[in-house]
Amino acid sequence: MRKHILLISAVMMMAFSLKAVDFQEHFKDKTMRFDYYHTGNATEEHFAFDGIVSDGLWAGSRNALVDELRLGKYFFEIQEPKSGKILYSRGYASIYGEWETTPDAKENWGVYHESIRFPWPNQEVDLVIYKRDNSDNSFEPIWEYHINPQHYRVNPADLSPMYDVSTIVENGDPEKKVDIVVLSEGYTFDDMEKFRKDARRFANTLLEAEPFASRKEDFNIRAVEVPSPNSGLNHPHQDIYKRSALSVGYGAFDSERYALGFNNKKIRNAASAVPYEYTVILMNDSIYGGGGIYNLYITAAADNAFNEYLFVHEFGHHFAALADEYYTSAVSYDINKDVIEPWELNVTAHPDPETIKWKELVTPNTPIPTPWEKEKYDKHSIKTQKKRRELRKAKAPEEKLVKLFNEKRKWDNELLSNMEYSGHVGAFEGARYMAEGMYRSEANCLMFTRYHKFCAACRRAINMVIDQYTE
């Protein structure tokens, strides 16, 4: 019965979403940031309101207010209280959403501070947060909160400027462009010239990668200089301990190369210095590492040997919710082995040529599933991962790991570029941490190996998100 009720509700909400929302009627030209605490463990979760503040000028589209892509582990809607009409919606992911799948969540409770952002409403509204059901990936409501913009815990004052800002790329009004903010982390006052150069390097790297290159005029990129007390970041697995401005450090979820920041308010306050929708945190560090969470932020080490790949790979996670397409590397969280169709746009569990997500992109006369040198690739990759673990356990110098990564990249490119269906769009088995039962669209991709190009399915997904912010 509950599923039936939810289905009816979803149909009603979709009907409302098809009605155009008049921005001026419902919203002011500023951003409301709703802060809350997300707590729980592997079996239960709870939400608690923290506060509401102004997060600066509204940078999003005034036309594409309802999210038709519906990506992310979580999804929120801003609704009219009486009619239930959807005024604004977006999908997103969170640190909590990853943490709850780790072994730690089976033994302990966790508390994470989170924010969602939307245009400042002219009237009282209802916030509804949904979460995906693990059995079929449908969204189910898990928390509702009534928002009164006149409430005493709502602060409409803009934050006074605290940091120096600079414009790297500017192509037009924020409401008609994708706006990216680049934050410094682990850069002291004396390092800021380096940060400005690193931020420009990030922008150039991103906008040279397709499909960003073809659509570079759809982007604005601005940098915010947040000084840290020390150069570099915290590396607990290597016995390097430092404090930095935004709380970002390596070792998240006990994964040596995974870098996250847990001071959400500090990161959000810094980002609000400029209009933004997407956040990049550049780390003043030379050790390979970073992370990317959909509609939260990316972190990326600015000076490692694979920084260009890292910039674009992590941005793919953050921007278009792209799934990792690799499956032989270790990950920090428990993977659901039940094979259901994933919600991410670049992977599939159903390699049916008539219904596959990227059907219109499939190369003619390409068999689906698509044969490739999987056994040979797996054997070599597993051997490399074993060597990688040995080097990490021995706390080997970074140079040895870089050498191993370069050898692996060269070997991968040679094999994956010289197969019968190399360069074809089809359905290649092995993706999203699963060696079997999950498929990617091409033999190689920036989300699969340290390659320099996105596959066709990834490019399609990225273009869909760009369209959502530039309509």
Q: Is residue 329 part of a domain?
A: no
Note whether 50 and 103 are same-domain residues. Answer: yes
Note whether 421 and 444 are same-domain residues. Answer: yes
User: For residues 362-384, b (16+ Cβ closer than 10 Å) or e, as one string?
Assistant: beeeeebebebbeeebeebbeeb
Helix or strand (DSSP H, E) at 174: none
Non-local (6+) Cβ contacts of 365 within 8 A are: none
Q: Report pLDDT for 393.
A: 85
Note whether 181 and 312 are same-domain residues. Answer: yes
* Longest CA–CA separation in the chain, Å: 66
Q: Report pLDDT for 1.
A: 34
Rounded Cα gap, residues 250 and 241, in angstroms: 10
Rg (CA), the chain: 22
User: For residues 399-424, b (16+ Cβ closer than 10 Å) or e, as one string?
Assistant: eebbeebeebbeebeebbeebebeeb
Q: Is residue 439 part of a domain?
A: yes
Q: Report pLDDT for 448.
A: 98
Query: Tell me: the pLDDT tens digits for 1-35?
Result: 334 334 434 444 444 444 579 999 999 999 999 99
Domain span at residue 450 reads 347-470
Note whether 47 and 134 are same-domain residues. Answer: yes
CATH number (domain holding residue 307): 3.40.390.10
Note whether 52 and 124 are same-domain residues. Answer: yes
CATH number (domain holding residue 43): 2.60.40.3250
Of 302, 320, 338, the residue that ends a domain is: 320
Tell me which residues of the chain have a pLDDT lower than 70: 1-19, 330-338
Note whether 168 and 150 are same-domain residues. Answer: no
Helix or strand (DSSP H, E) at 1: none
Non-local (6+) Cβ contacts of 342 within 8 A are: 137, 323, 348, 349, 432, 438
Rounded Cα gap, residues 396 and 307, in angstroms: 20
Q: Report pLDDT for 8.
A: 39
| SS3 at position 115 | strand
| SS3 at position 260 | strand
Note whether 236 and 354 are same-domain residues. Answer: no
327 - beta bridge partners?
A: none
Note whether 169 and 151 are same-domain residues. Answer: no
* Number of C-beta neighbours around residue 121 at 10 A: 19
Q: Is residue 340 part of a domain?
A: no
Note whether 298 and 426 are same-domain residues. Answer: no
Q: Is residue 325 part of a domain?
A: no
Tell me how many degrees the CA angle 279-281-284 measures, rounded to the nearest 5.
165
How many domains does the structure of the chain reveal?
Answer: 3
CA dist 89 → 296, 301, 434 (Å): 15, 32, 31
Q: Is residue 332 part of a domain?
A: no
Of 320, 336, 356, the residue that ends a domain is: 320
Residues making up the chain, counted from first to last: 471
Rounded Cα gap, residues 379 and 348, in angstroms: 23
Contacts 24+ apart (CB under 8 A), 452-457: 452/209, 452/308, 452/309, 453/209, 453/210, 454/209, 454/210, 454/211, 454/312, 454/316, 455/325, 455/346, 455/425, 456/358, 456/361, 456/425, 457/345, 457/346, 457/347, 457/357, 457/358, 457/361, 457/425
Non-local (6+) Cβ contacts of 305 within 8 A are: 288, 402, 405, 406
Of 155, 182, 203, the residue that ends a domain is: 155
Q: Report pLDDT for 337.
A: 61
Note whether 375 and 413 are same-domain residues. Answer: yes
Query: Tell me: the pLDDT tens digits for 233-260?
Result: 999 999 999 999 999 999 999 999 999 9
Rounded Cα gap, residues 209 and 463, in angstroms: 12
Q: Report pLDDT for 9.
A: 45
Q: Is residue 293 part of a domain?
A: yes
Q: Is residue 83 part of a domain?
A: yes
Note whether 416 and 461 are same-domain residues. Answer: yes
Q: What sign does the CA torsion over 439, 442, 443, 444 have?
A: negative
DSSP label at 254?
Answer: G
Backbone angles phi, psi at 320, to 5 degrees: -120, 15
* Number of C-beta neighbours around residue 118 at 10 A: 24
Note whether 172 and 43 are same-domain residues. Answer: no
Q: Is residue 411 part of a domain?
A: yes
Q: Report pLDDT for 327.
A: 94
